[in-house]
Chain A
Amino acid sequence: MIILENVRKSIAGKEVLRGISLTVKSGEIHAYLGHNGAGKTTTFRLILGLLVPDSGRVEVLGVDPLKNPEIRGRIGYLPEYDLLYPNLSVRDNLRRYALLKGVYDERGLRELLEFFELEEYTDKKVSSLSSGTQRRVAMARAFLGSPEVLILDEPTRGLDPEWRLKFKRFLGEYARKNDASIVFSTHILSDVDEVCNTVTVIRGGQVLFSGSLEEFRRSAPAEEAVLVKVTDVERAIAVLRKKGYSPEIVRGYIVLKNAKPSEINSLLVGAGLRVEEVKRKEPSLEEVYAMLYEE
């Protein structure tokens, strides 16, 4: 479990965090969102006990990580950049880290190499690998020793869509199996979907939003948009235009802004059209995030 309570932190005279509170329970995957420079990495470094908070409380697995550095043995950390030894092999990078962390286990290492599809690169120097493969090595490093707490700073940066999906599934399964507290930051909000239970959005070192993913979806004023599916699209568009709407066609749907599903349904049915589907368009997480940030 991770708890941050009203944490303030200034760096070089600038207040980076202004009273941040955050709770990540066991088995929970928490998305920590914000623009660049919002204070995400500073928060992660505080959780790791690398920075000293000016005020407030930081607690990881029941202890202050600053005063109990040994707790870091139960934390997996994936920094924003891979930070691997370029002239060492994949195996040596992982082995060195595991040995220093005190969690070296050949079987566990092999399993991670297998899962992250790194077996063929095991003895290759990291500098010879593609950026996506290097990211997978850094990911494998974070999972060494099956940590109870995971701090992932933009974990899917540089990964292709297939790997992003695979990683999301793995993360969900890992949190459930190990009852782990996972906090991760990302700018790709589709990564948050499906996998995260809770979300915190910060701006300028302050919490803008904190709650469940569902609450997050509902947090921004929803755009009154409607998706319509009809058999006679051309006629439907003509009817809608006549009533002052500006319909657009997206993936077989007629999209209408500033409209209500019931009104549109009545209008089209009244015009003798066969309506197959009318639904309210849910805002994407990107839209919710953008609206929240703009407020």
Chain B
Amino acid sequence: MGLTWTQLPEEIKYTAKQFGFYLIGIPSVVAVVYMFASWTPLPSDAIVGTSSFSIAVLISLFLGGSVAKEKLLGIHEVLLSLPFDPVKFISMRALASFIIGIAGIAVGSVVGWFIALHVGTPISLTTVSIGILISVPALFSFTFLIILITLLFQSKYLDVAKLIIFFTAYFGPACIPKYFGVGLSLEIALVLSLLMSMGALAVSYLIIHSLGERLAEKMVLV
């Protein structure tokens, strides 16, 4: 009894159902970020490098929305009353969201590649695939951290911070190269993605470790 990884397909299904039509937002955001980046004078690998990191941040914030909604409705209390450790549930949820996110990023990247091609900045599909791979670690770790933070804290400052991060990541790939003339090469983007992922996981670990058996309590009482 309890949560097993065989339940992952169901979790993906229900997470997707919760988003419903809004799931279209994932490829749309990815395509728009690609479009913004392709308007800059950056070379194709820098377009992908700069975009892939931003995309991971944007999509993880987007995916955290389903948990935020559950929390707003109080459904998280019912989920926490189920027979498993809250960390396992967050991991399952983060993984389900991650799979949905990566699928959306893949679709959006293809659309973005197509847009970039028409804007006059051809990008090879291999570079696009590398970009998706760069997003992978950051997407999972950020999604995990955002879900955890969403369940644990409730503050308007946190919401404002999320909004600022969202818009910075959204417009960053267009504005930073335009005004600073620089972008992230694929290598730097990968290193940055790995470093930020490790940072996000370390923060998650510290939060979980410091709360110990009071993790569920903190989630219920917030």
Contact = CB atoms under 8 A, between A and B. Distances in A.
B24 interface: no
A84 B14 CA distance: 13
Interface residues of B, number: 29
B20 interface: yes
B18 A85 contact: yes
A83 B83 contact: no
B139 to A, nearest CB: 24
Interface string B178-222: 000000000000000000000000000000000001101100110
A66 B215 CA distance: 11
Interface residues of A, number: 35
B17 interface: yes
Nearest to A44: B81
A99 B80 CA distance: 14
Contacts of A73: 1-2, 82-83
B1 A50 contact: no
A97 interface: yes
Contact of B74 (A50, A70, A81, A99): A81
B78 interface: yes
Q: Which of B1, B7, B73 has the most C-beta atoms of chain A within 10 angstroms of its own C-beta?
A: B1
Contacts of B10: 96, 99
A193 to B, nearest CB: 28
Interface stretch (A86-94, A174-182, A214-222): A86-94
B1 A52 contact: no
B81 A100 contact: no
Contacts of A99: 7, 10
B78 A102 contact: no
A69 interface: yes
B81 A75 contact: yes
Contacts of B74: 79, 81, 83
Interface of B: 1-4, 7, 10, 14, 17-18, 20, 70, 73-75, 77-85, 213-214, 216-217, 220-221
Given A92-B17, A102-B3, 15 more contacts: A48-B81, A66-B213, A69-B84, A70-B84, A77-B78, A79-B74, A79-B77, A85-B70, A86-B73, A87-B18, A88-B17, A88-B18, A97-B78, A100-B7, A102-B83
9 contacts: A51-B221, A70-B83, A74-B83, A75-B81, A77-B78, A77-B81, A83-B74, A97-B82, A102-B4
Interface of A: 11-12, 45, 48-52, 66-67, 69-75, 77, 79, 81, 83-88, 92, 96-97, 99-103, 141
